[in-house]
């Protein structure tokens, strides 16, 4: 089954206008394997600057812009929120939805996440749906139950047929920003569970969904992770703030 590989940078609440410039010119010289897309997700105030710099530097077509969050509402009296229409206006193509930091710090529920995925899809944007278990949940052997409980509301909300336009990022919470990466074997086993869970609803669709791994991915461990059958790229936090390291990670991805 042919799947695109995707390397997405989640800058979180980091970065600056000068890093945007540095990243765009860094990515300008990058050589990517066939079928690899790169997505940079800076904070909202920097989206336009990325789009503008990318246009000025004539950045290759498979480098995209993404947001880190979006409102589930179309428009209206939601002070402080950002809509999918606004993201479309600044030429974003992807949106990270349901990151574990949003779920734990801002109490986003799986139902709300499912609504966001629907809103994102209906605006013609691609959601990067984040799922993952905590350390306590993995120790209690609840990983599969937790992942299923995060996936099922989205399947119920949008229908499995619409997963052709969804990217899933598996990010074990205990591996985020800790330097502790899931071993390639553990990540592969969990990705296989996710693919099989989707396959229970529709095998053909499940084979097409890019499954990204996130959690302390860096230049040293990316190759082994991306070599796994069901790992189609990564969602990169800290290492995506270092242009040279991020370029190495992007160059090591291979589409299937
Ligand atoms: P780190 O790569 O810093 O562990 O962050 C992972 C992440 O949360 C990406 O969304």
Mean pLDDT by 10 residues, the chain (256 residues): 90 98 96 95 98 95 97 97 98 98 97 98 98 97 98 98 98 93 95 98 97 97 96 98 98 89
In this prediction, residue 1 carries a pLDDT of: 59
Question: Ligand 1 mean position to 76 CA, how many Å?
Answer: 32
In this prediction, residue 255 carries a pLDDT of: 80
Question: Ligand 1 mean position to 4 CA, how many Å?
Answer: 21
In this prediction, residue 256 carries a pLDDT of: 76
CB 87 within 8 A of CB 114: no
All structural domains of the chain: 5-252 (3.20.20.70)
- Closest to 190 measured CA to CA, from 237, 127, 143, 135: 143
In this prediction, residue 2 carries a pLDDT of: 73
d(CA 10, CA 128): 11
CB 239 within 8 A of CB 196: no
- Closest to 110 measured CA to CA, from 159, 150, 157: 150
* Ligand 1 neighbour 137 (Cβ under 6 A): no
Residue 99 falls in the annotated catalytic set: yes
Other Cβ atoms closer than 10 A to 186 = 14
- Closest to 222 measured CA to CA, from 186, 181, 177: 181
């Amino acid at each position: 089954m042919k799947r695109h590989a995707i390397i997405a940078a989640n800058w979180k609440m980091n970065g600056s206008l000068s890093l945007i410039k540095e990243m765009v010119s860094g990515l300008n010289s990058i050589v990517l394997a066939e079928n690899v897309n790169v997505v940079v997700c800076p904070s909202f105030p920097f989206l336009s600057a990325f789009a503008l710099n990318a246009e000025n530097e004539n950045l290759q077509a498979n480098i995209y812009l993404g947001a880190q969050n979006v409102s589930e509402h179309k428009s209206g009296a939601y002070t402080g929120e950002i809509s999918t229409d606004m993201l479309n206006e600044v030429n974003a193509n992807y949106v990270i939805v349901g990151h574990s930091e949003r779920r734990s710090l801002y109490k986003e529920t799986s139902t709300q996440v499912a609504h966001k995925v629907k809103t994102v899809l209906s605006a013609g944007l691609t959601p990067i749906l984040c799922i993952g278990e905590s350390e306590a949940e993995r120790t209690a052997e609840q990983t599969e139950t937790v992942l299923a409980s995060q996936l099922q509301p989205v399947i119920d909300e949008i229908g499995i047929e619409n997963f052709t336009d969804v990217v899933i990022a598996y990010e074990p919470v205990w591996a985020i920003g800790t330097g502790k990466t899931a071993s390639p074997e553990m990540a592969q086993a969990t990705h296989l569970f996710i693919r099989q869970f989707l396959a229970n609803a529709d095998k053909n669709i499940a084979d097409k969904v890019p499954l990204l791994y996130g959690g302390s991915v860096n230049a040293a461990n990316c190759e082994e992770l991306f070599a796994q059958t069901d790992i189609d790229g990564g969602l990169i936090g800290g290492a995506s703030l270092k242009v040279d390291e991020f370029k190495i990670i992007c160059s090591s991805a291979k589409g299937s």
